[in-house]
Amino acid sequence: MAFTDSPDQLLDACKTYHRTVALAHLDTPPGETRDGRLAEAMAQTESACTISALQAFANLGANAPAAQRPAMRRLNAWGLGMHVQQRLRPAWHAAQSRLQGATCYVDEEAIPLRHAFAHMAAERRRDQRAAIESAVVAQLGTVNEPFEACFETHRRVAADLDFDSPDDLWRRIADIDAVAQQDAAIEVLDETREVYADLLAWAVKQRLHLPLNQLRRHDVLAMFTFAEYQQYYQPGALVPAMQACCRHLGLDPTADGRLTWRERPSHFGPPEALALRVPDEVFLAYPPISGLKGAELWAGALGRALLWAHTDPDLPLVHRLLADPAIADSSACLLAELVAHPDWLRHYLSVHVDENYRLWRRLDRLYRLRRQLGRFLFTRHLYTADSLAGAADTYRDLMMEACCVDYAPEYYLLDVDWHYESIAALWSQSLACVLMETLHQQFAADWFRNPDSGAWLRHFWFGALGGSVSDLLQRHLDASEWTAALFAEMLSEERS
């Protein structure tokens, strides 16, 4: 694509920013040093993302040849998002500092608020979990204050940029039809409600011995620890098992040297796929892996890394940098689903799952999606109302409708989906379900041991970032059309 000087500046800023952020996550553990590097990376984009520069770029895009306009709109949206984040950074930093510094006190024990959710998940005594959650809710009174300031700053920034509301602003940045996305989210919630409610009632009775109407957020945290399934993934077993699987698929785990697997200490945090340059410099960085959730996170990172490392090197840079995140997330979902599948566990880890494993997996899948859709619907309400009046009660009502869980209203600002990112969960899981179904139909249930499946995946990954999720769904659904009912059926089935 031929750009004039202004687009070149924005494209260079985008490329440098993504590389700098990836390097910071690769080399520096979470903390002040990493935060400083990330702040520096954002500051370096300022000259390319001023209002005047973005307006000039938008004018260029409007007058560009039709074939160039989608890529230029995407780049302009990235620049606008960076401008907004630069403006919000002081308020956001103040809110995060308050959150990081908050401490809960339970029976004279001091628990940092950021660790309280892990404490609730690990605690088997319901009264003690409730005490921890009560202490969290008490602290949220002070934590929510700077987040309220973030929201007000957000409103002012949107107005300064001539948007009617934060909803209009993020619809432009995310390049979504928010009304259509909201309709799809509501339809998926409706179509999965019956099977979800039945599974949840079974799980609550099985594990917590509670009536469904008494379910609180701290109960859900404890319910999904999957303690009996952690043993399926013994330390050190997953990485060689997946490398063996890649070889059976005819995939080089390193993608001919483009993908580096790097194990690092636990204090670096959860597994990450990091692209310094797509497709030539991709890293899978991960701590020692064990347990079901650790395995899913690791496999998800591997799915993104494999897609990036197999991307067409001739795909325009804008597509390689700024593709719809749901596309890479779909490969993450596909690999996460694979390593938790009973057949894969039997073949590669010699594990035979118990009789309830499939039911728990289905419930977990539904709960996580419904929670994300609830967050999106709440945030859209917040942004279209352009006010926090009554927001806490609306949050509680919407999350109860989505998850059948009584969320304390004080959590509402911790669950805001500030950038409309959670809607990607709907489309990434939709595409992952369709890809899994296609592989199953074309190459049988044990497709993960068939080299023809590997060739199919390489072909998919090669061009995926150049398309849209809707195009990819339509292509792999053949004559069918994506509907909420079809997705609900795929999401809810046991996948034998």
pLDDT at 5 > cutoff 50: no
pLDDT (average), residues 5-15: 81
Residue 177 region by backbone torsions, left for phi larger than 0, else alpha for psi between -120 and 50, else beta? beta
| pLDDT confidence of residue 496 | 42
| pLDDT confidence of residue 479 | 60
CA distance 172 to 154: 15
pLDDT (average), residues 185-214: 93
| pLDDT confidence of residue 481 | 84
CA distance 297 to 194: 28
CA distance 120 to 219: 8
pLDDT tens, position by position, 396-407: 999 999 999 999
| pLDDT confidence of residue 64 | 83
- Token pair 């539904």 is found at 366
Q: Which residues contact 463 (CB under 8 A, 6 or more apart)?
A: 312, 315
pLDDT tens, position by position, 122-145: 999 999 999 999 999 999 989 999
CA distances 137 to 132, 305, 378, 413, Å, are 9, 38, 19, 12
pLDDT (average), residues 245-264: 97
pLDDT (average), residues 229-237: 92
CA distances 275 to 17, 36, 204, 285, 374, Å, are 12, 20, 41, 11, 30
Bridge-based pairing of strands 259-263 and 281-286 is parallel
Prediction pTM value: 0.94
How high does pLDDT run on average in the chain? 93
Q: Which of 175-179, 404-408, 424-428, 491-495 has the lowest mean pLDDT?
A: 491-495
pLDDT (average), residues 151-159: 95
pLDDT at 355 > cutoff 50: yes
Selection from 218, 198, 208 nearest residue 121 by Cα = 218
Residue 133 region by backbone torsions, left for phi larger than 0, else alpha for psi between -120 and 50, else beta? alpha
pLDDT at 3 > cutoff 70: no
| pLDDT confidence of residue 336 | 97
Selection from 71, 250, 176, 184 nearest residue 429 by Cα = 184
CA distance 215 to 232: 28
Residues 305/282, Cβ–Cβ less than 8 Å: yes
pLDDT at 333 > cutoff 60: yes
pLDDT (average), residues 376-382: 97
Residue 147's Cβ-count burial label (10 Å; 0-12, 13-18, 19+) is: buried
CA distance 21 to 10: 16
| pLDDT confidence of residue 6 | 52
pLDDT tens, position by position, 54-105: 888 888 888 888 888 888 899 999 999 999 999 999 999 999 999 999 999 9
CA distance 452 to 457: 9
Name the fold adopted by 175-496: Neurolysin; domain 3 (1.10.1370)
| pLDDT confidence of residue 4 | 40
**pLDDT bucket at 2, cuts 50 / 70 / 90:** very low
Q: Which residues contact 460 (CB under 8 A, 6 or more apart)?
A: 435
pLDDT (average), residues 419-428: 95
CA distance 320 to 279: 8
pLDDT at 260 > cutoff 70: yes
CA distance 6 to 177: 28
Domain parsing of the chain, residue ranges: 1-99, 102-162, 175-496
CA distance 137 to 119: 14
**pLDDT bucket at 442, cuts 50 / 70 / 90:** very high
